[in-house]
Amino acid sequence: MAGTGGPAHAPAEFFPSIALIRAVAALLVVYDHFVGIWPARNGVAVPAGALLERWVFEPLHVMQHGGAFGVALFFMVSGFIIVHVAQRESRRTFAVRRALRIYPPLWTSMALLLAVFAIALAASDAPGLRGFQINDVLAQANPWPWVLAAATLGNYLIGTPAVNGVAWTLVIEVLFYATVLLLLPLLKARPRTAIVAAFAGLAALQAVARTHAFVFLLAVNGVYVTYLFLGSLVWLRWSGRVGNGFFVVATAAFWGLFVWGVAKLALQPPWTLSEYGVSYALAWLAFVGLLLCDRQIRVPRVPLFFSRISYSLYLNHGGLGMVALTLLYPHTGYPAALALTFAAVVAISAASYRWVELPSQRLARRLTARGVAAGG
């Protein structure tokens, strides 16, 4: 990492290490759902998955078949990149670009899921289609209030069911964006003060978590916001905005607050605190290690493709993939169902990237061109 006097090199728009991390993280989450969760729920034996579980994930105490490690990598990427790009953006620019980055692909995935689940539930009585939160939404006489809550991600703060179950990470992202937006002038001018303020606010939120249901849900999501700031600290050190001493002390403080929050608020059995700790600690180590090798990394075409579509793949693989596996398995067997499902969700995600993500990003740039030039 660079010295305290400034970056050792100009901040790059493209980090090969982060492109590689995005691809790996997305594929790990897909693996978790397609090879870990779906077979376990449906009583299907997957020998290769069992070997990986026995010899890799269990000895390392990595939870969710590696899925939690993948999610933690995504959080590290967001914490790093968001503070990086925010340095040259006004508050308006920051807000518009983050909103258009998050919401149009989310809404597209929700529309697909609502249509596919409604058709599948009407056409099949396969038990594998049950048990998802979207079933509770579709079962309502008037589902639209719940759909609208999910479309804003507010469902995670008021306790109504999700339409797209993987969107739980997005409310964490949005809360992190809101915190960065609030602290943006300080992050640019006095980053140490901004980090201390963020820590104080998140610690206070955890301290009063049980005073009200809304506050509790906000605090549970805030536990993971704490982890994203570990990625922000890495950027601040990498860019030379803070020194080694502050980086070490702040990282220890945020890590301690994260672990305390998991233990007191966010722990979900059967997973243990050690599994949370190991999964998220390994993600931090992998992220920092690859970032330190950034100049030596060359990303091949296939990982680069999965990096580009990683957000759409994350959004579209879960619900659509579970439906496809459930409907295909009785007719094709698991290996063929897995191959067909993976190919389908990759194609859908590539289409979402091209026809939803890229246009919404271009719109954001047009709407905020002056905001970048104006800076803070």
pLDDT, tens digit (0-9, with 9 covering 90-100), for 35-51: 999 999 999 999 999 99
Domain span at residue 31 reads: 16-374
Rounded to 10 degrees, the C-alpha dihedral 311/316/317/320 comes to 180
Tell me the pLDDT tens digit for each residue of 308-356. 999 999 999 999 999 999 999 999 999 999 999 999 999 999 999 999 9
278-284: average pLDDT? 98
For residue 371, the model assigns a pLDDT of 54
For residue 6, the model assigns a pLDDT of 35
For residue 11, the model assigns a pLDDT of 41
**Residue 307 near residue 22, CB atoms below 8 Å:** yes
* Residue 9 domain-assigned (yes or no): no
pLDDT for 259 beyond 90: yes
Tell me the pLDDT tens digit for each residue of 154-166. 999 999 999 999 9
85-99: average pLDDT? 96
* Residue 168 domain-assigned (yes or no): yes
For residue 130, the model assigns a pLDDT of 85
Beta carbons within 8 Å of 312's beta carbon, 6+ residues apart = 105, 109, 348, 349, 350, 352, 353, 356, 357
pLDDT for 171 beyond 70: yes
**Residue 228 near residue 183, CB atoms below 8 Å:** no
* Residue 1 domain-assigned (yes or no): no
pTM: 0.94
* Residue 121 domain-assigned (yes or no): yes
Tell me the pLDDT tens digit for each residue of 4-33. 333 333 344 789 999 999 999 999 999 999
* Residue 5 domain-assigned (yes or no): no
pLDDT for 376 beyond 60: no
* Residue 11 domain-assigned (yes or no): no
pLDDT for 373 beyond 70: no
Rounded to 10 degrees, the C-alpha dihedral 201/206/208/209 comes to 130
What's the N-to-C CA distance of the chain in angstroms?
26
Percentage with pLDDT > 70 across the chain? 95
Tally of structural domains, the chain = 1
Half-sphere exposure of 332 (CA within 13 A, CB side): 14
* Residue 3 domain-assigned (yes or no): no
For residue 7, the model assigns a pLDDT of 36
pLDDT for 2 beyond 60: no
* Residue 2 domain-assigned (yes or no): no
